[in-house]
Structure 1
Amino acid sequence: MKKFSYLLMLMMALTACNDQPKNDEIADNIKTEKPEPAIINEYGFILNDYEVVRDTIRNGDSFGVILGTHGVDPNKIFEIVNKVRDTLNPRRIVVGKPYVILKERDSAQTPKAFIYENDLVNYTVVDLRDSINAYTAKKPVTITKKTVAGMINSSLSEAMEDAGLNYLLAHEMSNIYQWSIDFFRLQKGDRFKLVYNEKYINDTIYAGIENIEAAVFYHEDKPYYAFNFMVDSVAGSRDYYDEKARPLQSFFLKAPLDFFRISSRFSPNRFHPVQKRWKAHKGTDYAAAHGTPIKSTANGVVIASSYTAGNGNYVKIKHNDTYTTQYLHMSKRAVRQGERVKQGEVIGYVGSTGLATGPHVCYRFWKNGVQVDPFRQNLPSAEPIEDKYIPSYFATIEPLKDELGQIEFKESI
């Protein structure tokens, strides 16, 4: 019996010894197994397949310099620039904008794509993989509808800030109501309600305001309604109208800049700061930071885009047989003679070229060939809604008006 027990114990020990290496091997296999890397799909590329370089445009950078820094031959750069200039104009890349370069995963690390981010949503791809090709695209965007009510204690921007809202909403409202309400003369107790849409990239990254669908602003206890309506389904253009289908916008914007201060008004006799003499100043000067975008105040055709010693870089636009405008002292021009531009389109950037003491745009305005002060003109309204769209308009705004009515004001913001 003792012999049997001894043999049994010996067999168990041998079995345990034989199993140990197998267990160790299994443990080693478990430890060395690595999870598959997540697939990163961005800009229409699988980024895992490339060496990814992310950077921003800096002072002194140019499209050619960036490509050259990453190993592209000068002759190749010349070919690329000529092929893509209609899609990505190398002269119009802006300092501070992000870009991405995708490189081959080899010792040469040859660039295969250059991606320029025009803004948070739109980007331009210069694809160098097979043949040189350039195109624009958008990041995936979702739209979220929101509602809010606010009360004015001192200013619209402060009311927005108190309500935890993006300051761009104040800018949008100022644009919508610029011909109806003087936002420099708001009164304490004025209030507003909004139905608006926000944009998010990949459902998480805030990308700004899409639009304001509907608004009502109570100024001196009078309600001013605004509803966003598509007036041209082919062009996709939209505008704002009140509860009776009347346009809120004018034929002209009030100013060619979004953020500014008026440094000098139209005057028959003003002391010129550069020429040091009294002379007529037949324009309105809007002071703003160097590089601020300048917008066309109405639809029209560019009849001049040039430079003179006095005007510096300037653009002149004919809007119709009655009205013409001109924009002086630009740091650079963004349109060419013969181009058709829309109201609000960027035509240049604030500078101090020509006879200017600081960064500003001198805005000149002609009516029937005579320079006049635009602030003293009874300017035409925007185009009304065509009669055939009126029933559709009222059907569209009815639920929006109900939605505005259901938004409640808070006791304090």
Structure 2
Amino acid sequence: MKKLPYLSLFLILLLSFGCEQDETPKEDLKEVEPRPEPIIKEYGFTLNDYEVYRDTVRSGDSFGAIMDAHGVSRGKVFEIAEKVKAKFDPARINVGKSYTILKSKDSLAQVQAFIYEESRINYTVVNFKDSISIIKNEKPVTIKKKIASGVITSSLSAAMDNEGLSILLADKLADIYQWKIDFFKIQKGDQFKIIYNEKYINDTVYAGLDNIEAAVLTHYNNPYYAFEYGKDSLSGFPKFYDEKANMLQSFFLKAPLKFSRISSRYTKRRFHPVQKRWKAHKGTDYAAPTGTPIWSTADGVVIKSSYTRGNGNYVKVRHNDKYTTQYLHMSKRNAKVGQRVKQGDVIGFVGSTGLATGPHVCYRFWVYGKQEDPYKQNLPSSEPLEQSLKPMYFAKMDSLKSELDNVKFKNI
């Protein structure tokens, strides 16, 4: 028998495999169906039903100009403004704020609604699809509880940054402890632990700090606990107490401004940098950038707000019959004689007016009319928590303290 040539054998095999592939039934091949468009709901609208335009207010923009650019007549703009001005003033939209415009999907592409975001959470809807209406609302917000710890190597804000925490959290923590801890004397190796809550829009988009529930800060190896409980009836700000139900806020703030440095302390003998002679310096100088807000360190009444050649712009506050404070070298005063001020109110701004070589505030302190060093005073503290509220406070505090104590401190 004659052998087939190699080429003939290859063709036979190729045809065999080809036939096997062709035998696959066509009915077994499935067509891939297109996925349906996801339904997007926002601001109370189904956005799929509209042409959506998103932008931010730019310098020179106005509500009328934005509407004009999208084909809304001036007469309609005036009608809208008149209708909604009691709840929303279109003339007061701010540069940098986001807005959304919804248009019909037909050939006319008429504007149906204007949504203005006052903040990341709060927004206003001006709806004029059929009739003109206005709704103020909030995006759905989720509160998430967080626990963090850190160790200070240079400053509280730097320690927060090292842990990937917000600078706002550092500010809030400093606000809580400003009556107990002198942040100008913060030590390398001081540690903190904190329980706080953050806000998230739609459970994913970070929207800022909500509150601090509890914290402990070690300073010179001493633990300082702080637990939120209740709010101040006047300011609405949260109150903080320690593990013994003593309020952290005291009668005087430790300093008249935040995060600066002491450039010169109270002394009976100092060489004056301007007058070039030795004399007493009966104040504490805090160096800070020009324009830094200066606080009244306690409640009181402004008894002087003036300018002199030596003091520059200054404000003097009487707190009671015993204590008076004065703030010198301001770039600008922000308080008038007779004005009642609360602890933490901004009464002026750091400057270098008068006999000053650089921007700072000279903080002076009187006790019964005699100038004293505020750092050597045994200043009065605020009242502790009411006795009737203590059982509820301790129940809440014990739970938070256990959470804090179960978190390990970080070391350098």
Say whether the 8 Å CA contact 2:299–2:319 is kept in structure 1. Answer: yes
Matching residue of 2:85: 84
Matching residue of 1:230: 230
Pair 1:315–1:221, CA change in 2 (3 A): closer
**Alignment pair present for 1:68 and 2:69:** no
Matching residue of 1:144: 144
Matching residue of 1:155: 155
Rounded Cα–Cα distance in structure 2 between residues aligned with 1:165 and 1:128: 39
Pair 1:361–1:89, CA change in 2 (3 A): farther
**Alignment pair present for 1:40 and 2:41:** yes
Pair 1:221–1:348, CA change in 2 (3 A): closer
Matching residue of 1:127: 126
Q: Deviations over 1:311-361 (max 9, x none)?
A: xxx999999999899997679x9x9xxx9998768x899799x99x9xx99
Matching residue of 1:100: 99
Say whether the 8 Å CA contact 1:84–1:126 is kept in structure 2. Answer: no
Aligned pairs for 1:222-261 within 5 A: 222-231=222-231, 237-250=237-250
Rounded Cα–Cα distance in structure 2 between residues aligned with 1:103 and 1:378: 63
SS in 1 for 2:161: helix
Say whether the 8 Å CA contact 2:240–2:248 is kept in structure 1. Answer: yes
Rounded Cα–Cα distance in structure 2 between residues aligned with 1:382 and 1:45: 51
Matching residue of 1:277: none
Q: Deviations over 1:354-407 (max 9, x none)?
A: 99x9xx998999999x9x999678766455422321221111101111111111
Matching residue of 1:51: 52
Say whether the 8 Å CA contact 1:264–1:285 is kept in structure 2. Answer: yes
CA shift at 1:132, angstroms?
5.7
Pair 1:109–1:316, CA change in 2 (3 A): farther
Farther-moved stretch of structure 1 (397-406 vs 185-194): 185-194
Q: So what's the TM-score if we normalise by structure 1?
A: 0.61
Q: Deviations over 1:79-122 (max 9, x none)?
A: 738953776595683x4x3220424336474473241333x33x
Q: So what's the TM-score if we normalise by structure 2?
A: 0.61
SS in 1 for 2:117: strand
**Alignment pair present for 1:206 and 2:206:** yes
Rounded Cα–Cα distance in structure 2 between residues aligned with 1:228 and 1:285: 30
Runs of at least 5 residues in structure 1 that lack an aligned partner in the other structure = 1-19, 21-25, 273-281, 303-307, 309-313
Say whether the 8 Å CA contact 2:63–2:90 is kept in structure 1. Answer: no
Say whether the 8 Å CA contact 2:184–2:261 is kept in structure 1. Answer: no
Say whether the 8 Å CA contact 1:70–1:111 is kept in structure 2. Answer: no
Say whether the 8 Å CA contact 2:168–2:209 is kept in structure 1. Answer: yes
Say whether the 8 Å CA contact 2:183–2:259 is kept in structure 1. Answer: no
Rounded Cα–Cα distance in structure 1 between residues aligned with 2:385 and 2:241: 9
Matching residue of 2:71: none
Pair 1:384–1:87, CA change in 2 (3 A): farther
Rounded Cα–Cα distance in structure 2 between residues aligned with 1:318 and 1:91: 40
Matching residue of 2:188: 188
Say whether the 8 Å CA contact 1:231–1:385 is kept in structure 2. Answer: no
Rounded Cα–Cα distance in structure 2 between residues aligned with 1:78 and 1:330: 43
Rounded Cα–Cα distance in structure 2 between residues aligned with 1:57 and 1:298: 41
SS in 1 for 2:62: helix
Note the aligned Cα RMSD (angstroms): 5.9
Aligned pairs for 1:342-353 within 5 A: none
Farther-moved stretch of structure 1 (231-240 vs 383-392): 231-240
Q: Tell me the amino acid that sits aligned with residue 215 of structure 1.
A: A
Rounded Cα–Cα distance in structure 2 between residues aligned with 1:143 and 1:83: 32
Q: Tell me the amino acid that sits aligned with residue 67 of structure 2.
A: G
CA shift at 1:239, angstroms?
0.9
SS in 1 for 2:408: coil
Rounded Cα–Cα distance in structure 2 between residues aligned with 1:284 and 1:81: 54
Rounded Cα–Cα distance in structure 2 between residues aligned with 1:127 and 1:382: 48
Say whether the 8 Å CA contact 1:350–1:361 is kept in structure 2. Answer: no
Pair 1:341–1:180, CA change in 2 (3 A): closer
Rounded Cα–Cα distance in structure 1 between residues aligned with 2:112 and 2:360: 41
Aligned residues: 363
Matching residue of 1:276: none
Q: Deviations over 1:108-155 (max 9, x none)?
A: 74473241333x33x2415252346463x3322212222223222332
Runs of at least 5 residues in structure 2 that lack an aligned partner in the other structure = 1-25, 69-73, 267-271, 275-282, 308-313
